[in-house]
Structure formats: C-alpha cells, structure tokens
Amino acid sequence: MAKLMVIGGFLGAGKTTAMIEVAKTLKKIGNTVGLITNDQTDYLVDTQYVENHDLEVTELTGSCFCCNYPGFAECVDKMRQEDFILAEPVGSCTDLVSTIMKPSKEGKAGDLDVLPLSVLVEPGRLKDFMENNTNAFSEGVYYIMDKQMEEADFIVLNKVDTLDAGEKEKLVSYLNEKYPAGRVMEISAREGKGIETWLLAVLSADIATSNAKKMEVVYETYGIAEAEMGWLNAKAEINARDSVNGDTLMSTLGEALKEAVAEEGGEIGHLKLYLDTGKGASKLSCVGVRQSVELDQALGQEMKRGELTINLRAAVDPALLEKYTSEKIEALGESLGFDIENLVIEAFRPGFPNPTYRM
C-alpha cells in the first residue's frame, strides 16, 4: 500500500525543494516515489523543476487539493503503484487535516497509509509573523500561517543554513512554545541537511493518532486573506537575435519584478522563474521584497532559444502584476536583444475556499 506524505507550508517556504530531497532520500534506500504538485492555474514552475530532477510527477492545476478532492484522488491513482506519494498543496491553503488528511484516511482516495502532516516554515516569514509585521502581510495572511502551523504534526523550520545559532534557537523556542502539539524539526532543503532525521521521525510516528487535530477555522477570514494575494502565471518563448546569457536574463528579470512589487508597496509570497533551453535549465526564486533574488539552478551558458515560465504570488492587484510582467519582459528583450513570442499570462485572485470534504 502506498504511503502518502503531504508537505504543506506558506508560499516561499521551500516545499518543492524539500519534497525533491525527501524523494531522493527515499529512492536511495530502494523505494519508488511519485510526486504531486498543485496550483490554481497552469504553467507551474514546480512541476518543471521536479521533472528536471528525473522524478515522477503529476500535477493538479486550476484548483487546490482541498476544493477539488476528486482531482487530488485522480492524481493519487496515477501514482498508486509507487511506494511513496509526496504531495505539495497550494501555499495559501490551510485546514488540510479536515480537507485532505482525514478524507484520505477514510479511503476517499483509495487505500493509503496516510503519514503525519508536515508544514514547512521560512525563517524570514516566521520573523514577520512573530512581530506581526503588517508592512509585509496583513493580519489575515498571518491567520493562514498560524492555522497551518497549528494543525501540523511536524513543524519543519527550513533554510536553517541562513541562520546563526542564536537566531535558530529563538525561532525554534518560539515554535515549541506556541505550538506544543507539533514536533519542531530543523532542515536545510537547499543543502540537503536534516532531511533524513525529519523523514525518520515522520515514518516512526503513529499514523493512527496523527492528523487528528480538530481545528476551528473562520472561513470568511481565511477566504478574504487568500484573496489578498495576486496570482500570476506566465509562459513565453525567448528567441535571441544573436545569443543571450540565460542566467543574466533570469536575474535581471527577477530583480525587475521584485522592484515593481516593492514600488507598489506590496510583498512577495513567492516569485519563481524557470528557463528551459532544451540543453539546460535555470531556476530563480525570491520570497520577499526585502530578501535577495536567488539563482537556485544556473544555466551557465549562452542561449538562442528557450521557454520561460513565471510564477508570481504577491500582495498586489493581479492586473498590475500582469502589466508589470509584460512591461519588464519587453524592456528586457530590448536591452538584452531577444524577442518574446507566444506570451501567455494568467493573473487573478484565488476564489473563496469551498472544500469537497471537511471532516
């Protein structure tokens, strides 16, 4: 029987990278693994990034797992032959125990061993949450984060490589005190550290008593907060007039989009860019206007043609996100010498959460 491991957490927490590292660890010890990604619309960077690591992946787009449980179950069916199924829900979703974990334990997606829910936390976002920094996000968005951590069996502090010992101790102590029912783990998904310890803890836990927390959620607050985020996914073909450095293209565009959000007084939930040339790929990410734009995977070469995918979640009107994305790509094409073909942009606010099940 396949084991289902759901890895939640707010936008920018590093869920996809962590899921990839968990999959690699499981495969090293002889297991087969399938991954499920999720987004509110098409053109998902996460799916391409997982495929680039030679892992089996399927995706549910156009709705979240919670509000389209039958779609989630179909994805599970595609991966049922694997020993482990790793699933990453949309980063702005909460109430996962009631809407995903319990229905799965009740057999709504067929026979599965449902492992404890893990929720990843990004240090910078956690600091803003602790300080109730409404210059970053609203109290409503922090409500979503609070509920995500409250329902977790495992609260996984990611990116500990970015913290000194004192900072890490402060964050871990806070999580232990505020959420005593959750077990706090420490990892650096980017460096592959702490993954085995976390995975062993999950596999050693009692699945009969996990995913059992009954949590009150004010859906009006949840829905309004989720709708504060502008959602943008875009795809375009890049055709260089001569040749262009793909990593320069990515870094310059990432900085330009971050600056545009900052100038609007908004905050980035996450920004992900992915450039695939057929000969290699580059991935870039940013998780806040006060945080750096990071090239997670470098192309390392000049390119003539490539396919660019943009995923941007920010507390900015989606119409403005669409406007700035179009303008920044066009301006960059002029400065670096490339043409943009078949640009498709989808920009919107998420709909009100309406889960299939709530147990």
User: Containing domain of residue 233, as a range?
Assistant: 229-348
Same domain, 68 and 106: yes
Could you tell me if 202 and 53 lie in one domain?
Answer: yes
| 358 inside domain | no
Q: Does residue 13 carry a pLDDT above 80?
A: yes
Round to whole Å and give the CA distance between 53 and 39: 20
CATH number at residue 174: 3.40.50.300
Residues facing residue 159 across a β-bridge:
none
Rounded Cα gap, residues 81 and 308, in angstroms: 33
216, 255: one domain: no
pLDDT score recorded for residue 42? 78
Residues 36 and 185 both lie in one domain: yes
190 and 242 in a single domain? The answer is no
User: What mean pLDDT comes out for the span 69-95?
Assistant: 95
Asked whether 303 and 277 are in contact (CB, 8 A), the reply is yes
Q: Which of 52-56, 175-179, 264-268 has the highest mean pLDDT?
A: 175-179
Helix (H, G, I), strand (E, B), or coil: what is residue 86?
A: strand
Residues 6+ apart with CB under 8 A from 121: 9, 10, 13, 149, 155, 156, 157, 158, 175
User: Which domain-ending residue is among 209, 225, 241?
Assistant: 225
Whether residue 190 sits in one domain with residue 172:
yes
Give the pLDDT mean for 296-303.
90
pLDDT in tens, 105-127: 999 999 999 999 999 999 999 99
Is 356 inside a domain boundary?
Answer: no
Q: What is the pLDDT of residue 135?
A: 78
In angstroms, the CA 342 to CA 162 distance is: 38
- Evaluate if residue 207 carries a pLDDT over 90: no
Structural domain includes residue 58 = yes
Angle at 50 between CA 326 and CA 312, to 5 degrees: 25
Instruction: Give yes or no for residue 208 having a pLDDT over 90.
Output: no
Based on the fold, state whether residues 214 and 202 are members of the same structural domain: yes
Residues of the chain with pLDDT > 90, as a percent, come to 81
Q: Are residues 64 and 188 in the same domain?
A: yes
Is 171 in a helix, a strand, or coil?
helix
In a domain, 355, yes or no: no
Residue at a domain's end among 185, 208, 225: 225
Residue 353 domain-assigned (yes or no) = no
Quick: pLDDT tens for 316-350: 999 999 999 999 999 999 999 999 999 999 999 98
Instruction: Identify which has the larger pLDDT, 138 or 235.
Output: 235
- Residue 151's pLDDT is 96
What per-residue confidence (pLDDT) applies to 39?
83
pLDDT of 19 reads: 95
pLDDT at 250 over 80: yes
* pLDDT value of position 9: 94
Predicted confidence at residue 62, as pLDDT, reads 84
Overall number of domains in the chain: 2
Region 230-242: mean pLDDT is 93
How confident is the model over 186-193, as a mean pLDDT? 95
Q: Are residues 177 and 252 in the same domain?
A: no
pLDDT (mean) for 45-52:
87
Q: What is the pLDDT of residues 144-169, one digit of tens each?
A: 999 999 999 999 999 999 999 999 99
Q: Give the end of a domain, one of 194, 225, 256.
A: 225
Angle at 7 between CA 296 and CA 154, to 5 degrees: 115
Share of residues in the chain with pLDDT > 70 (%): 100
| More confidently predicted of 195 and 46 | 195
Shared-domain flag, residues 117 and 96: yes
Q: Which residues pair with 230 in a beta bridge?
A: 314
How many beta carbons lie within 10 A of that of residue 168, not counting itself? Answer: 16
Residue 40: per-residue pLDDT: 78
Q: What's the confidence (pLDDT) of residue 37?
A: 93
Q: Is the predicted pLDDT of residue 51 greater than 90, yes or no?
A: no
Query: Looking at the predicted structure, is the pLDDT value of residue 276 above 80?
Result: yes
Average pLDDT, the chain: 93
More confident residue, 137 or 120: 120
237 and 211 in a common domain:
no
Residue 160 lies in a domain: yes
CATH of residue 272's domain is: 3.30.70.360
Q: Which residues contact 332 (CB under 8 A, 6 or more apart)?
A: 249, 252, 253, 256, 338
- Other CB atoms within a 10 A radius of the CB of residue 259 amount to 14
In a domain, 130, yes or no: yes
Q: Are 280 and 250 in contact, with CB atoms under 8 Å apart?
A: no
Residue 41 reports pLDDT greater than 80: no
Arithmetic mean of pLDDT, 250-276: 95
219 and 241 together in one domain: no
Vertex 257: Cα angle to 254 and 262 (nearest 5): 125
Q: Is residue 354 included in any domain, yes or no? A: no
Strand 281-286, strand 294-297: pairing: antiparallel
